[in-house]
A and B are shown apart, each in its own frame.
Chain A
């Protein structure tokens, strides 16, 4: 008679069997690697900066400098870059052809042009009405066009006051006292977080979703092919099978997400431990959902159907982070929110454990609930086989 086999070795054997089966499938391995590379390529192809400036061409060139000064004392922070043009035709052609011109050392596409009349200054002095033409490319939004027209009007008001020997600031209908022009929160002008960086959690979550569905499919196929039934008539108990499937799911999800995070350079300049913990929570959550949906569906399509029912709402927080502002409470009650919020904070802000304690704790609690639900659902399914 052989000695009893330990639970650990049974679990390890099942995990090993599953992993070997996955890795032996060269097609699956190749395609999974391909997907990772494709996601990484897409990530690196995305723009790595945020264009938060408007490039404006001004004719005559001499008025360009005056306009720039009127817009803001410090042009770099004003959001408006000004290029002078020597002729109106040249300005129109630059906009029409989408020509790039060098503005303050940077190549910019001029989409807005301001053509002041030659008698602009004398008209301001005499009080005569002059006409300024604002040329805009079809892609320029209405708010920008209106703002440009308003800037021109303000310049005319200031020119008139200046011509009469007054202080141009007196031309404004209001004053902006320094203490009232307040920048609230961390000032990110000139150092905005690129869209690409905000997409990291979404890419990572997409990998988790794929692995969750893959685990669900594996479970559904094993139930359908009755290999799980065969397993539980061996010395392996139901709990051993459940532990083994959980560990396999977590390992598969975790390894791929960590790899995609590494390929997208997410660990540089981020709180690595926080990011890894969020990833682990995500992997456990994905596994729990895989168990839950894998056991619920009658076949692969049924599994996919249940999977989608869960995963589409779970995906919402990953999209929500792309929008400016704080997430609404509707987004915050979704179990995946805490994990995604932590990933965003860990990769885009200087973050510490205190900042992420609440979202991480929230996601961990949800993770425990979902894992228990997945475990119970799969256990019940195994017992009914």
Chain B
């Protein structure tokens, strides 16, 4: 392997990349995925109870309800719309405040509160919304509570919301797209269009080509991982630890990309491999989303060993001292993969020579 040849191939790839659709994928998909998760799907896993309010008088409740923590409030103009939206489960429940409601509450005449529940709402949401409605009426009543309630948070205070736990998945996605996808497709595409064969009759050797393609994928994966973390606002304070982790992550993904590229005889085989790869590499993510699953299974996936440190550093503020042992295992996996890449690379070289 000669560094001059490696950089010559790398320079060519960098110069050609803006014309390549792979490059577009690498740049665009993590950003698109971040937007989708942050704007749309983030709320899927931790949905708040949704309450609709129709205020026929000018009740204090309709302004107080907006200040309630953890409840999504929609103010509607008429009862028909409210009932229709509750029925179709666009709202979990709805209340209708008649004219004079506040006065009736204040003079203790216990006015009727129209309360509609969606049949599809969760039992827990129903009780939360009903109690909230009563509590709002208490606020209108204005009497001092006969009891002082002191809330103390104990136990598991470090549990992250699921929306946050999804962020490392987005980073993993960026790493896979850059490291595996771009690297592998770049090589197989050149193999199919025979530019690789042409290159090999020059002073450039197979190891130079694989190193250059790997280096390009590595840089793409590393940069896009940082970009994705930045877009999601979880770069954290421990940049050095994060950099080390992402280097190992990008290295492993590039090695996988090289294995897939050298093992695939054509695009179809590579595509089939990529289809499988998505689940194998994304495996650990599902165990983070569903903590009740047996967690030891996650450790069977090679990506776990960089995914967990990435999770701990970016979201929990861990340092290198906390995660070095996991990173070491990831690094050992990377080293163990090198002979496999070497063997497959030589096999591909022979196959190209015969073709």
Task: List A residues at the B interface (Cβ < 8 Å).
Answer: 25, 27-28, 31-32, 34-35, 38-39, 42, 45-47, 50, 52-54, 71-72, 77-80, 92, 95-98, 111, 120, 123-124, 127, 129-139, 141-147, 149-154, 156-157, 159-160, 170, 172-177, 180-190, 192, 210, 213-214, 217-218, 221, 224, 299-302, 304-305, 308, 312, 319, 322-326
B272 touches A185 (CB 8 A): no
B189 touches A299 (CB 8 A): yes
Nearest chain A residue, comparing its CB with the CB of B32:
A312
Given contacts A146-B70, A173-B134, contact A71 B189 (CB under 8 A): no
A47 touches B69 (CB 8 A): no
| Chain A residues whose CB sits within 8 angstroms of the CB of B87 once the complex forms | 184-185
A143 touches B149 (CB 8 A): no
> Of residues 23 to 54 in B, which have CB atoms within 8 Å of A's CB atoms?
24-25, 32, 40-41, 44, 46-50
Besides A38-B279, A71-B127, A324-B50, 12 other A-B contacts (C-beta < 8 A): A31-B275, A129-B147, A131-B149, A137-B159, A139-B156, A141-B70, A146-B132, A176-B113, A188-B120, A319-B41, A324-B89, A324-B120
Say which residue of A170, A192, A323 sits within 8 Å of B44 (CB atoms): A323
Closest beta carbon of chain A to B166's beta carbon, Å: 13
Distance between Cα atoms of A172 and B105 in the complex (Å):
10
Q: Give the A-B contact count at a CB cut-off of 8 A.
A: 283
What does DSSP make chain B's interface, helix, strand, loop or mixed? Answer: mixed
Given contacts A146-B135, A174-B110, A301-B189, contact A138 B290 (CB under 8 A): no
Distance between Cα atoms of A132 and B87 in the complex (Å):
37
Distance between Cα atoms of A210 and B146 in the complex (Å):
62
Tell me whether B22 is interfacial, beta carbon within 8 Å.
yes
Tell me whether B286 is interfacial, beta carbon within 8 Å.
yes
Distance between Cα atoms of A27 and B133 in the complex (Å):
61
| Chain A residues whose CB sits within 8 angstroms of the CB of B120 once the complex forms | 185-186, 188, 192, 324
| Chain A residues whose CB sits within 8 angstroms of the CB of B124 once the complex forms | 52-54, 79-80, 144
Nearest chain A residue, comparing its CB with the CB of B158:
A138
Nearest chain A residue, comparing its CB with the CB of B92:
A324
Tell me whether B116 is interfacial, beta carbon within 8 Å.
yes
| Chain A residues whose CB sits within 8 angstroms of the CB of B276 once the complex forms | 31, 34-35, 38
B110 touches A172 (CB 8 A): yes
A39, A72, A184 — most chain B CB neighbours (10 Å): A184
Tell me whether B154 is interfacial, beta carbon within 8 Å.
yes
Say which residue of B86, B135, B157, B158 sits within 8 Å of A153 (CB atoms): B135
| Chain A residues whose CB sits within 8 angstroms of the CB of B68 once the complex forms | 143, 146
Q: How many residues of B contact A (CB 8 A)?
A: 91
A47 touches B267 (CB 8 A): no
Closest beta carbon of chain A to B44's beta carbon, Å: 6
Closest beta carbon of chain A to B102's beta carbon, Å: 11
Distance between Cα atoms of A141 and B71 in the complex (Å):
10
A183 touches B148 (CB 8 A): no
Which of B136-144, B301-309, B323-331 forms contacts with chain A? Answer: B136-144
Task: List B residues at the A interface (Cβ < 8 Å).
Answer: 20-22, 24-25, 32, 40-41, 44, 46-50, 68-71, 83, 85-92, 105, 108, 110-128, 130-135, 137-138, 140-141, 145-159, 185, 189, 192-193, 266-269, 271-273, 275-276, 279, 286, 290, 292-293
| Chain B residues whose CB sits within 8 angstroms of the CB of A42 once the complex forms | 279, 286
Distance between Cα atoms of A181 and B24 in the complex (Å):
55
Given contacts A53-B124, A147-B131, A150-B131, contact A180 B112 (CB under 8 A): yes
B272 touches A32 (CB 8 A): yes
A143 touches B152 (CB 8 A): no
Say which residue of A135, A146, A149, A217 sits within 8 Å of B268 (CB atoms): A217
Distance between Cα atoms of A371 and B290 in the complex (Å):
40
| Chain A residues whose CB sits within 8 angstroms of the CB of B88 once the complex forms | 185, 325-326
Closest beta carbon of chain B to A320's beta carbon, Å: 9
Given contacts A79-B124, A156-B146, contact A188 B119 (CB under 8 A): yes
B119 touches A186 (CB 8 A): yes
| Chain B residues whose CB sits within 8 angstroms of the CB of A133 once the complex forms | 149-152
Nearest chain A residue, comparing its CB with the CB of B41:
A319
A221 touches B123 (CB 8 A): no
Distance between Cα atoms of A344 and B141 in the complex (Å):
46
B279 touches A79 (CB 8 A): no
| Chain A residues whose CB sits within 8 angstroms of the CB of B89 once the complex forms | 185, 324-326
| Chain A residues whose CB sits within 8 angstroms of the CB of B292 once the complex forms | 47
Given contacts A146-B69, A156-B146, contact A326 B113 (CB under 8 A): no
Say which residue of A46, A136, A147, A175 sits within 8 Å of B154 (CB atoms): A136
Closest beta carbon of chain B to A139's beta carbon, Å: 4
B126 touches A132 (CB 8 A): no
B148 touches A144 (CB 8 A): no
Closest beta carbon of chain A to B273's beta carbon, Å: 7
Nearest chain A residue, comparing its CB with the CB of B286:
A42
B48, B112, B151, B185 — most chain A CB neighbours (10 Å): B151
Closest beta carbon of chain A to B82's beta carbon, Å: 10
